[in-house]
């Protein structure tokens, strides 16, 4: 359970840092949040790996949910486009991560 909480926190912090990167276009003070956020996200991702989640699964989920969260929130906060091709692309990313997750479970179960 701990590894999933850490992963969730890593995703939230990474999305906040990425949105802050967008905000820094208007106010450079946001760059402090960007640097601190990315550093914290990588520290949390390292903790996730130390807690036992494989890198393929952890990074895949981190990337997919980070991409989806950033796209949705950027549309809501900054008015960025959120079109059907973007939704389809996010769906494909999530489907790919699910394939990686299922594949890693199959390999783990076969080894035992």
What is the reported pLDDT for 92? 93
Q: What is the mean pLDDT of residues 61-78?
A: 94
Residue 15 lies in domain: 2-111
Check pLDDT > 60 for residue 109.
Answer: no
CA–CA dist 61, 97 (Å, integer) = 6
Q: pTM score, two decimals? A: 0.84
Number of neighbouring beta carbons within 10 Å of residue 15: 22
Is residue 108 over pLDDT 70?
no
Task: Write out the two tokens for 62.
Answer: 């981190």
Domain count, the chain: 1
- In three state form, how does the secondary structure of the chain look? CHHHHHHHHHHHHHHHHHHHHHHCCCCHHHHHHHHHHHHHHHHHHHHHHHCCCCHHHHHHHHHHHHHHHHHHHHHHHHCCCCCHHHHHHHHHHHHHHHHHHHHHHHHHHHHC
Span 18-67, pLDDT tens digits: 999 999 999 999 999 999 999 999 999 999 999 999 898 898 899 999 99
Q: Residue 26 is encoded by which pair of tokens?
A: 């208007």
């Amino acid at each position: 359970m701990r590894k999933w909480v850490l992963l969730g926190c890593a995703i939230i912090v990474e999305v906040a840092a990425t949105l802050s990167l967008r905000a820094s276009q208007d106010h450079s003070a946001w760059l402090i949040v960007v640097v601190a956020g990315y550093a914290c996200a990588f520290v949390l991702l390292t903790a996730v790996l130390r807690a036992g989640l494989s890198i393929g699964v952890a990074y895949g989920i981190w990337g997919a949910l980070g991409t989806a969260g950033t796209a949705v929130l950027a549309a809501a906060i900054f008015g960025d486009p959120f079109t059907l091709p973007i939704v389809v692309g996010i769906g494909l990313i999530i489907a790919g991560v699910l394939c990686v997750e299922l594949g890693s479970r199959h390999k783990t179960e076969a080894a035992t």
